[in-house]
Amino acid sequence: MKFAVMTGGGDCPGMNAFIRAVVRTALNIRPQTSVWGVLDGWRGLMENRYRRLNKLDVAGISSAGGTILGTVRFADLAKDSDIQETVARNLDDAGFDYLLVCGGNGSLRAAAVIEDILRREKLRTRILVCPGSIDNDVCNMHGSSIGFYSAIDKSLEMLEWIRDTASAHRRVYLIRSMGRNSAFLPLFAGIASGAEYVIRPHEQVNFERMASMISERDRDSRIIVSEAYPKSLDEIKSILEQIFEQRNVWREIRSVDMSYFQRGGTAATTDILRASWLGYRMVKDAFDRCESGYYSAFYTGHMSDPLPLAVAADDSQTSYADIPPEFIEFALALR
Ligand code: F6P
């Protein structure tokens, strides 16, 4: 059997563990198998750029952030049917039986479209996908993505550092968090670190109330701002400064952006283990000649059946449109 393994979308810790698990499982269970790493994600597939991987190539990479295969944003893939056709043909021409992908919702949607072409044209390759994204916005009614908990760990560490200096100076810090259109990463990071407020992407913020809450605090206040919230940190700062001035309250405000730092560094144990489990399961299922599918990331050892790619890629069936109210209640109860 011939496998291609690929990482797509924004990199995240855990992708390397996935690659290692695919290579090791395939070559240990059936040594005659070949595994090829696709370089630079979907663009690499369009350009036929692969590298054969052996067991030593993936030694010692499980906990490392990023992805040894690289990944590229390839927006044209979603719009251009010629590119989609080329990718499907390339997979078949290269003789791949399976393409195993760890990626975000762009990768999931691309996989569903290309699977459709592969089936329609009776081409050989089947595609299996698992979620890799710090945003936790891929099929998030079904488990949580690889990389999400690593990014929370990184955020927590940064938020604790900021607390030290905020508390020393009695300051308010406005802290931008990644997460794209989703509030999962900022909210969970905020809950973990006990931040005073998390501004969600589509929230109507009551800044008067926020200012009162800050005034009641003795020393530090950390306000996490979701990536997709439309106001800039400077705009939020000047709104709060005006309110404090009107109330004759003295508060210094600073801002900081955690964004790309949240995506790097060592993987959380749960991401290493869940990515390894999914890589292992996907190879085993491929050896059993499974049809294509989406593998949710629950706990290590979880055995849910894969979802059809077309179902998984339909956000209205598989992803929360916004953060579920129970998580907001949970966060508020701990404030
Ligand atoms: O999807 C992961 C993510 O880190 C998002 O949180 C963010 O919006 C985006 O990728 C940034 O992407 P890029 O690396 O292309 O700037």
Interacting residues of 332 by C-beta distance below 8 A, sequence separation 6+: none
State which of 264, 292, 310 marks the end of a domain.
264
Catalytically annotated residue among 40, 82, 92, 135: 135
Whether the model pTM is above 0.85 = yes
> Does residue 243 sit in the same domain as residue 275?
no
Closest-lying ligand 1 atom to the alpha carbon of residue 134? 2
Interacting residues of 204 by C-beta distance below 8 A, sequence separation 6+: none
Instruction: Report the alpha-carbon distance of residue 245 to residue 222 in Å, rounded.
Output: 19
Residue nearest to atom 10 of ligand 1 (CA): 10
Range of the domain at 119: 2-147+267-318
> Does residue 142 sit in the same domain as residue 30?
yes
> Does residue 274 sit in the same domain as residue 219?
no
Q: What is the CATH number of the domain that holds 258?
A: 3.40.50.460
How many residues does this entry show for the chain? 335
Residue nearest to atom 11 of ligand 1 (CA): 10
Instruction: Choose among 140, 143, 73: nearest CA to 107.
Output: 73
> Does residue 242 sit in the same domain as residue 293?
no
> Does residue 281 sit in the same domain as residue 138?
yes
Residue 325 belongs to a domain: no
The CA 180 to ligand 1 mean position distance, Å, reads: 7
> Does residue 49 sit in the same domain as residue 33?
yes
The strand pair at 98-103 and 126-131 is best described as parallel
The dihedral of CA 119, 123, 129, 134: what is its sign?
Answer: negative
12 lines ligand 1 (CB under 6 A): no
**pLDDT one digit per residue (tens) for the chain, 335 residues:** 999 999 999 999 999 999 999 999 999 999 999 999 999 999 999 999 999 999 999 999 999 999 999 999 999 999 999 999 999 999 999 999 999 999 999 999 999 999 999 999 999 999 999 999 999 999 999 999 999 999 999 999 999 999 999 999 999 999 999 999 999 999 999 999 999 999 999 999 999 999 999 999 888 999 999 999 999 999 999 999 999 999 999 999 999 999 999 999 999 999 999 999 999 999 999 999 999 999 999 999 999 899 999 999 999 999 999 999 999 999 999 98
Q: What is the CATH number of the domain that holds 59?
A: 3.40.50.450
Distance of CA 102 to the CA centre of its chain: 10
State which of 219, 246, 264 marks the end of a domain.
264
Q: How many folded domains does the chain comprise?
A: 2
> Does residue 47 sit in the same domain as residue 99?
yes
> Does residue 117 sit in the same domain as residue 186?
no
Closest-lying ligand 1 atom to the alpha carbon of residue 179? 6
Closest-lying ligand 1 atom to the alpha carbon of residue 178? 6
- In the chain, % helix, strand, coil (3-state, to 5) comes to 45, 15, 35
Instruction: Report the alpha-carbon distance of residue 5 to residue 30 in Å, rounded.
Output: 16
The CA 45 to ligand 1 mean position distance, Å, reads: 21
> Does residue 135 sit in the same domain as residue 236?
no
Residue 323 belongs to a domain: no
179 lines ligand 1 (CB under 6 A): yes
Query: Do the beta carbons of residue 214 and residue 236 sit within 8 Å?
Result: no
* 220 a catalytic residue: no
The CA 280 to ligand 1 mean position distance, Å, reads: 27
The CA 262 to ligand 1 mean position distance, Å, reads: 10
66 lines ligand 1 (CB under 6 A): no
State which of 264, 284, 301 marks the end of a domain.
264
> Does residue 18 sit in the same domain as residue 140?
yes
The CA 241 to ligand 1 mean position distance, Å, reads: 30
Interacting residues of 297 by C-beta distance below 8 A, sequence separation 6+: 130, 131, 143, 144, 145, 146, 274, 275, 278
> Does residue 9 sit in the same domain as residue 128?
yes
**Cα 177 to Cα 9, 153, 281, distances in angstroms:** 18, 13, 33
> Does residue 135 sit in the same domain as residue 179?
no
Residue 60 belongs to a domain: yes
119 lines ligand 1 (CB under 6 A): no
219 lines ligand 1 (CB under 6 A): no
